[in-house]
Structure 1
Amino acid sequence: MDDKILIVGATGLIGGHVVRQLITGGRDKNLHLLMRRDFSGETGEAKQHVADNANWPEIITSVKPDVTISCLGSTMKKAGSKEAFAAIDRDLVTAVAEAAKAAGTRHFLSVSSTMANSSASSFYLKVKGQAEDALRAQNFDRLDITRPGLLRGERTNDPRLGESLAIIASPLMDMLLQGSLRRYRSIDAKDVARAMVALLGHGDPGQYIHENDGLWELANETREKIDPPHRIIDLTAALSHF
């Protein structure tokens, strides 16, 4: 029997793509979606759990997922304050992880941010780092933390002007980001989702961090299974050789 998979934050940019990838791959029979509002797209045989954040631990306990994928994430602008942002990106992520661990989750996957560090001077990166520390403390059999750069993708329910302008400029900026700076390059949210789906097939125990280069490589694993003739490439990296 396939593992029971729970996606938390399924209506977000990355979460929505993870759902669609799993449905396309025929992995929706034991798929559960936990969110605050109904999923707007096709959900196949996946079971939806719509509830306020305060009730999520109880739902996680009842689902008993083998694998939990956290796609939670906000911005200080959307959250309204530093405290509200931390309540989602650190406290809620931690609560989900604790509930998942108690419910029997063996494999936990989460979306973080490049340069996340609990000692960072940036409040955003500090909160992301604190969330990562909390995840590590749960001692899951396997923990995968993805650290994408600037996310490209259409946010139908959460337009972000500053982010949109950065995305427009990203082709030029990406060309300038070489070597260790590649981690800051933009990356399509679909590729992050594909990478997370690929990680479901990685069973070696341990705690792993995946930044842009690793995410692109993982994304190809999923793409090759669903659409074999094509591969995802880092176009900026390819052009830099000319």
Structure 2
Amino acid sequence: MSKVTRIALVGASGLIGSALIRLAVGRSDIRIIAIARSEIPLPPGARMEVLVADPANWADAIAAANADVLVSALGTTWKKVGKDEEAFRAVDQHLVLACARAAKAAGIRQVITISSVGADSSSKNFYLRVKGEVEQALGRLGVTRLDVIRPGLLRGSRRELRPAERIGMILSPLMDLLMHGKYRKYRSVRDDVVARAIVGLTKEKAAGRFVFEHDAILRAARKAGD
């Protein structure tokens, strides 16, 4: 019998976290342990654990998950934080790093984090700068394997679809056709493809830090199996 990979998931209620939970339904090779602030809606047939705790206590929950992999799909929006930079950093930077540190302390070998195409600590764009800073800080933690997924526009069914994202989703099929060469990494990608890429990456054994942009995300997704 093949080993079941236990995945501790933070950001379970978001687009990618929800897609990963749906993907896990009916699979015998992965087991999701979601760590959340409150109860989350689960799809029919889901067999998983949900550890509900205040974020201040998520380190204990991560340790209790007894996981092989931490998947960090955390993220907030300008609208939710009222365009407050520190409130944005509290989730997208400080909470992400706190969870990764807790994973390392708990002996979790692999951390998979959702970043963004264009992430750069020297970017003038605040969002991309924070993502770049987080990637650098994660790289310094010393986890055995760090996988950084940098998707372009994420397509999927959000509970709250932002106007710019709605327009982007409508235009993305046409825009994707125009993105070639070095611009391919900016192509949009579906939430279920990113979820499959996450599962594919849990099967990798090599140690180190790895970055996955559009084409590499598609290749990782093909390794997920059924």
1:172 match: secondary structure: helix
Q: Deviations over 1:76-100 (max 9, x none)?
A: 2222222111111111100000111
2:20 aligns to what? 18
Q: Which runs of 4+ in 1 moved over 6 A?
A: none
1:89 aligns to what? 92
Whether the aligned pair in 2 keeps the contact of 1:76 and 1:84 (CA below 8 Å) is no
> TM-score, length-normalised on structure 2?
0.92
2:131 aligns to what? 128
Matches within 5 A, 1:10-49: 10-27=12-29, 30-42=31-43, 44-49=46-51
Q: 2:113 aligns with which of 110, 115, 123?
A: 110
Matches within 5 A, 1:184-195: 184-195=186-197
**CA apart distance, 1:142:** 0.8
1:121 match: secondary structure: coil
**CA apart distance, 1:52:** 2.3
Q: Deviations over 1:147-195 (max 9, x none)?
A: 0000001102x22111111111112211221110011111111111110
2:80 match: secondary structure: helix
**CA apart distance, 1:23:** 2.7
Cα distance in 2 for residues equivalent to 1:3 and 1:175 = 36
Whether the aligned pair in 2 keeps the contact of 1:64 and 1:100 (CA below 8 Å) is no
The answer on 1:152 being equivalent to 2:155 is yes
Whether the aligned pair in 2 keeps the contact of 1:31 and 1:46 (CA below 8 Å) is yes
Whether the aligned pair in 2 keeps the contact of 1:11 and 1:37 (CA below 8 Å) is no
Structure number with higher helix proportion = 1
The answer on 1:8 being equivalent to 2:10 is yes
1:221 aligns to what? 223
**CA apart distance, 1:140:** 1.1
Unaligned segments of structure 2, at least 5 residues: none
Structure 2 counterpart of 1:188, one-letter code: R
Aligned CA distance change for structure 1 residues 103 and 86 (closer, same or farther; 3 Å): same
Cα distance in 1 for residues equivalent to 2:107 and 2:127 = 30
How many residue pairs were aligned? Answer: 222
- Comparing 77-86 with 7-16, greater Cα deviation is found at 77-86
Cα distance in 1 for residues equivalent to 2:169 and 2:53 = 32
- Comparing 19-28 with 135-144, greater Cα deviation is found at 19-28
2:222 match: secondary structure: helix
1:79 match: secondary structure: coil
Q: Sequence identity, in percent?
A: 41
1:24 match: secondary structure: coil
Structure 2 counterpart of 1:94, one-letter code: L
2:74 match: secondary structure: coil
Structure 2 counterpart of 1:50, one-letter code: V
Unaligned segments of structure 1, at least 5 residues: 227-242
Superposition RMSD in Å: 1.5
